[in-house]
């Protein structure tokens, strides 16, 4: 199997160069499957972030990027997509070791990353304005211009996919980017920066500055020279990031937490439903903002659904990501302990364990951060496990008796990111979809395989703004109106 791991210190990418941190500091990146050090990476300082922003500003205003024809931007992005695919297996293994996810999921993430660049490459020369009819003697038109330097703070759960999700539309719009990956999983973001440069992206257009949120993240979010900020992470951190950006009147796209419901009616195709519900919570060990972490099931179908889900959960193979198990490890010991604590809270509040609820007994997994696929049944909607984002492979199961009750339960959350509806009755599905307050609603499916083309974002505390699809370009462009009076 190909590998992308290296022995030397991984430098920052600033203005097209691999450079050490300005003070020489580094940090270790750990493989959550084994707890062993995977790589040592330069730790970006406030000064490093400032240099990256300045490089992005210079690139934005250069002829090499700012003066480049939109079609040529698209060609560069196509080459980036091709290079990602050429290195797909090595990137997937690196993502699996860095994040812990099963190799087949990492492979899918790499392909989705390439698809983002392909999709937005085709749009680069089609970002158009409008003409506005004012009558004889006037010509009025709008143009969409790049918003400027885009700062992007990316989480650890889907590093290459979420990195590409924001970088690709920003480049298509003509922006330059400073990307700060999580210090827990920065490796494929650095490779993405290398790939982009090798594909012909001018120096400074994409800078990658791994580091801590408290230092590099704060420096980037509060920098007065950025023009736009894209953030994916928790609600608490998102609020702080938005406040820092607001001090400089910088617009923000926020993709925050979720407690997304899968709503199952008794007339649903049970085989299809169980597969979809299980994938929605156990993919990436539940460490997904859009995970279907609440199961709302019609009471008369409850026993059949839970029995099948429990059998599936108990049969899943848990192990190191590169061995391609059904489910890999949790990202860190701290997050593992958080998940364990939530299960204890749930059972203390009256929920019952239908599967899992503990670390695996296999001694070979003792050095990694593993937790078994877990079902918590007989959950009441007011319980903490039904309201708070656990970010782990833990499904809270709640029963309902009517469509009205299902709608009320689905919306009884501070979040509104995604929802799933499972039924053979299209009238019931469409009626419920119209009542759910969430940015995406899936019917008899969930997630749509990455959904590059589908606008993604939240209602309520799940955030604001939209990523993916054509809607995302609104975040990376600004509208200029030109009005001409003629004789």
Q: Which residues contact 268 (CB under 8 A, 6 or more apart)?
A: 301, 422, 423, 424, 444
For residues 66-76, average pLDDT: 97
- Give the integer Cα–Cα distance in Å for 481 and 143: 7
429 DSSP β-pair partners: none
Phi, psi at residue 100, to the nearest 5°?
100, -10
Whether 223 shows a pLDDT value over 50: the answer reads: yes
Give yes or no for a contact between 453 and 119, defined as CB atoms under 8 angstroms apart.
Answer: yes
Q: Which residue has the tokens 């903490």?
A: 384
pLDDT in tens, 339-367: 999 999 999 999 999 999 999 999 999 99
Q: Which two tokens stand for residue 26?
A: 């580094």
Counting Cβ atoms within 10 Å, is residue 236 exposed (0-12), middle (13-18) or buried (19+)? exposed
Give the pLDDT of residue 311.
Answer: 97
How many other C-beta atoms lie within 10 A of the C-beta of residue 128? 8
**Using one digit for the tens of pLDDT, what is the confidence trace for 416-462?**
999 999 999 999 999 999 999 999 999 999 986 668 999 999 999 99
Q: Which two tokens stand for residue 196?
A: 């982009």
> What is the distance between the alpha carbons of residues 373 and 344, in angstroms, rounded to a whole number?
15
For the full predicted model, state whether its pTM sits above 0.75.
Answer: yes
What pLDDT score was predicted for residue 25? 97
Of 216, 114, 203, which is closest to residue 160 (Cα–Cα)? 114
Rounded-to-integer distance, Cα 145 and Cα 305, Å: 51
Q: How far apart are CA 312 and CA 373, in angstroms?
A: 9
Q: Do the Cβ atoms of 257 and 462 come closer than 8 Å?
A: yes
> CA angle at residue 267 from 266 to 272, to 5 degrees?
95
Distance CA 413, CA 301 (A): 23
Predicted confidence (pLDDT) at residue 169 exceeds the cutoff of 50: yes
Strands 477-485 and 138-146: antiparallel
Whether residue 483 lies in the annotated active site: no
Cβ contact 95:109 at 8 Å:
yes
Convert 57-74 into a string of H (helix), E (strand) and C (coil).
HHHHCCCCCCCCCHHHHH
Residue 8 has pLDDT above 90, yes or no: no
Which pair of tokens denotes residue 252?
Answer: 């923000």
User: Using CA atoms, how far apart are residues 162 and 294, in angstroms rounded to an integer?
Assistant: 23
Q: How far is CA 208 from CA 11, 14, 191, 194, 419, in A?
A: 9, 7, 10, 9, 33
Q: Which of 255, 298, 340, 389 is catalytic?
A: 255
CB distance 220 to 228 below 8 Å: no
Query: 144-157: per-residue pLDDT in tens?
Result: 999 999 999 999 99
Return the ∠ at Cα 160 (arms to 420 and 6), rounded to 5°. Answer: 145
Cβ 403 vs Cβ 431: under 8 Å: yes
454 bridge partner residues: none
Quick one: CA torsion of 20, 154, 112, 388, rounded to 10 degrees?
Answer: 150
Q: Is the pLDDT of residue 41 over 50?
A: yes
Choosing from 93, 289, 340, 389, the catalytic residue is 289
Task: Give the three-state DSSP class for 268.
Answer: coil
CA dist., res. 330 & res. 371, Å (int): 7
The predicted structure's pLDDT at residue 106: 97
Strand pairing class (131-132; 138-146): antiparallel
What mean pLDDT is predicted for residues 198-225? 98
Contact call for residues 186 and 210 (beta carbons, < 8 A): yes
What was the pLDDT predicted at 19?
A: 97
């Amino acid at each position: 199997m190909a590998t992308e791991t290296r022995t030397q210190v991984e430098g920052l990418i600033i203005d097209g160069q691999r450079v050490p941190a300005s003070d020489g500091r580094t940090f270790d990146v750990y493989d959550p499957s084994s707890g062993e050090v995977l790589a040592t990476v330069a730790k970006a300082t406030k000064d490093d972030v400032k240099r990256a922003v300045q490089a992005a500003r210079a690139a934005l205003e250069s002829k090499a990027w700012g003066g480049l024809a939109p079609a040529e931007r698209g060609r560069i992005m196509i080459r980036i997509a091709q290079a990602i695919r050429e290195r797909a297996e090595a990137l997937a293994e690196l993502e699996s070791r860095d994040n812990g996810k099963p190799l087949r999921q990492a492979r899918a993430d790499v392909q989705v990353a390439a698809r983002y660049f392909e999709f937005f490459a085709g749009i680069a020369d089609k970002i158009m304005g409008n003409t506005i009819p004012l009558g004889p003697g006037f010509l009025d038109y709008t143009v969409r211009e790049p918003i400027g330097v885009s700062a992007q703070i990316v989480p650890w759960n889907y590093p290459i996919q979420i990195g590409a999700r924001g970088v690709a539309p920003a480049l298509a719009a003509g922006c330059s980017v400073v990307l700060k990956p999580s210090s827990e999983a920065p490796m494929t973001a650095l490779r993405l920066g290398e790939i982009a440069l090798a594909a012909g992206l001018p120096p400074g257009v994409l800078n990658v500055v791994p580091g801590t949120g408290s230092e590099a993240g704060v420096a980037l979010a509060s920098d007065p020279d950025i023009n736009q900020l894209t953030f994916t992470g928790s609600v608490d951190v998102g609020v702080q990031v938005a406040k820092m950006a607001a001090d400089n009147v910088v617009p923000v796209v926020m993709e925050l937490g979720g407690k997304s419901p899968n709503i199952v009616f008794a007339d649903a195709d049970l085989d299809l439903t169980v597969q979809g519900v299980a994938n929605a919570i156990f993919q990436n060990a539940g460490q997904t903002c859009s995970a279907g972490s609440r199961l709302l099931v019609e009471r008369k179908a409850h026993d059949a659904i839970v029995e099948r889900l429990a059998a599936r959960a108990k049969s899943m193979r848990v192990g190191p990501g590169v061995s391609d198990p059904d489910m890999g490890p949790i990202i860190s010991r701290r997050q593992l302990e958080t998940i364990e604590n939530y299960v204890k809270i749930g059972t203390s509040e009256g929920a019952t364990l239908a599967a899992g609820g503990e670390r695996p007994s296999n001694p070979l997994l003792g050095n990694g951060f593993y937790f078994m696929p877990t079902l918590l049944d007989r959950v009441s909607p007011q319980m903490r496990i039904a309201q708070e984002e656990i970010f782990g492979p833990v499904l809270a199961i709640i029963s309902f008796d009517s469509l009205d009750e299902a709608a009320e339960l689905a919306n009884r959350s501070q979040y509104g990111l995604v929802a799933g509806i499972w039924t053979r009755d299209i009238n019931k599905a469409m009626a419920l979809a119209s009542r759910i307050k969430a940015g995406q609603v899936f019917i008899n499916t969930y997630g749509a395989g990455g959904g590059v083309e589908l606008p993604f974002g939240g209602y309520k505390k799940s955030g604001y703004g939209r990523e993916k699809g054509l809607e995302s370009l609104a975040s990376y462009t600004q509208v200029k109106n030109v009005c001409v009076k003629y004789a």
